[in-house]
Amino acid sequence: MKALTHPIKIVFFDIDETLYYKKECRIPDSIFEQVIPQLKSKGIIPAIATGRALGAFPKAIQPLLNPQGFELFVTTNGQYNIYQGDIISQYPLTTERIERALEKLKALQIEYGFVSIEEIAVSKNTAEVEKSLRPIKEDYIVDPNFYLDHKILQLLAFFPQERTQEVIGSGLLEDDFKEVRWHKYSVDLLKKENSKAKGIKDVLNYFNIQMENAMAFGDGLNDLEMLATVGYGIAMGNGEEELKAVADYVTLPIEQDGILAALKKLKVL
């Protein structure tokens, strides 16, 4: 465990399997009763840093989206970042870039999706699409041309891990795109330079907070840059092994109140 050497002024939380226990569709009581109130009482800003879009937040987190809870959001892997409803930064994809990617995906016969600020739309509803998206946003839209009338923050592609090399070989990613797997059948497709870490840098600049005064909790592969960038990165005990390898501390799993345990262990609370 790395020593905590700088005072913490802001803490970023991933949602799925970090704040939100997806298996039981709930947020641990300790978050409501201890973590958020105690952070607020100490003047520490609690913030969300998620791969989800604003319109795809789970219902269980809604009671925390208020001045007594969360008002600061790094969303869609750092591509749409807001505070109290005001946009700090955003990085939508151009129509040209989207269409280049769709050409490759169609040639590969891979279904795709679009993530806007509030909606998720897919090219076709398949078993793989349903298994991926239903736990994230039940009311997603089927519209292969959704991007023509909406600002798109990132793409989705629905294919299993074993097709990854085929996808890479197709030229889909080229020099400026990357894929981040978040489900057995699905990956996020976004600009290579974008990540939660980039969104966090924008936020810290906005608040004039130094990186060493920022802490973050995560569990997945889209948290790698975030945990490696903030002053103190904490991986959940239920997290990916690759993430644990870059973390400053590995806490207990979400179902064992890992967030509260880490904040107490490090004397943040």
Active-site residue list: 14
In angstroms, rounded to a whole number, what is the distance separating the alpha carbons of residues 88 and 92? 13
Half-sphere exposure of 44 (CA within 13 A, CB side): 21
**Neighbour tally for 104: CB within 10 Å:** 18
> Which DSSP symbol is given to 228?
H
Judging by beta carbons within 10 Å of its beta carbon (0-12, 13-18, 19+), is residue 209 exposed, middle or buried?
Answer: middle
Please choose, from the candidates 69, 63, 66, 75, the residue with its C-alpha nearest in 3D space to the C-alpha of residue 14: 75
- CB under 8 Å to 192, separation ≥6 — which residues? 175, 176, 177, 178
User: Strand 232-235 and strand 214-218: pairing?
Assistant: parallel
Residues 6+ apart with CB under 8 A from 96: none
Q: What phi-psi label fits residue 199: left (phi over 0), alpha (psi between -120 and 50 degrees) or beta?
A: alpha
